[in-house]
Amino acid sequence: MRLALLIVIGTAALALAGCASAPATPSASSTAPVIAPGRPGEAAKTLGPTEAATAVPSPSANAADVVFMQDMVVHHRQALDMSAGAATRAASDDVKRMASRIADTQGPEINAMIRWLRQQGQRVPEHHAGHHAMPGMATPEQMAALRAADGAGFDRLYLQLMIAHHLGAITMAADELEKGSHIMVQELAQDVSVTQTAEVNRMRRMRAGG
């Protein structure tokens, strides 16, 4: 679901731009009720026509949306770096599968988020952009230790670091849901929260031997 959402971000943004000249809300003289979609995680509401103009989710990005997408590109890139060695150095098949799932999901997401940033005319982070204030990111020393680890030691350190990494992404998503405005970015943040919470629970079971 998340991958499909990200793939359509680019085309949907262009469609919104093409439709900008058309009326987005019913006229004030209409008496028909309006069903307005809620923010991610919230139910839709039935509104009177005078309420509709302010209740429809915004297709415009604010600063929080841009920061979330820029930071999540950097965050995802480190997840790929952390997962790169699992196929040859992990002892557990479950760890290998988890790392493969993360790489297969987050790689295309990075590309889609970069496209979104470019469409918005915003800066795309460099590959080794700073991330000191970003929650959940592994330190250079931790990354060096992971690259040097092998077998069961790799498994333990990978799960430790990736659980913290996911929890950081969940924190970032919560901040976007509170402060952002762009409905597609908000939907992505909601999906990051749900998906990575499920993966954290799975990795915790793996650490416990379940």
Residue 47 maps to a domain: no
Note whether 57 and 65 are within 8 A (CB).
Answer: no
Inside any domain, residue 32: no
| Number of domains forming the structure of the chain | 1
Tell me the average pLDDT across 140-160: 97
Domain contains 86: yes
Which whole number is the average pLDDT over 177-196? 93
Report how far residue 90's alpha carbon sits from residue 93's, in angstroms, rounded to the nearest whole number: 8
For residue 70, give every residue at least 6 positions away whose Cβ sits within 8 Å of its Cβ, in sequence order, or none: 117, 122, 123, 124, 125
In a domain, 184, yes or no: yes
Does 183 reside within a domain?
yes
Domain presence at residue 151: yes
> Which residues, including other chains, have CB under 8 Å from residue 133's CB and lie 6 or more apart?
none
Model pLDDT, residue 60:
85
- Whether 125 is covered by a domain: the verdict is yes
Judged against a pLDDT cut of 90, whether residue 84 lies above it is answered with yes
Could you tell me the two tokens for 13? 């943004």
Identify whether 8 is part of a domain: no
Q: Is 121 left (phi over 0), alpha (psi -120 to 50) or beta?
A: left
Query: Is-above-0.85 flag for pTM?
Result: no
CATH code, 165: 1.20.1260.10
pLDDT at site 23: 40
The pLDDT of residue 210 is above 90:
no
Structural domain span for residue 199: 63-207
Instruction: Kindly report, residue by residue over 36-78, the tens digit of the pLDDT.
Output: 445 555 565 565 555 544 444 567 899 999 999 999 999 999 9
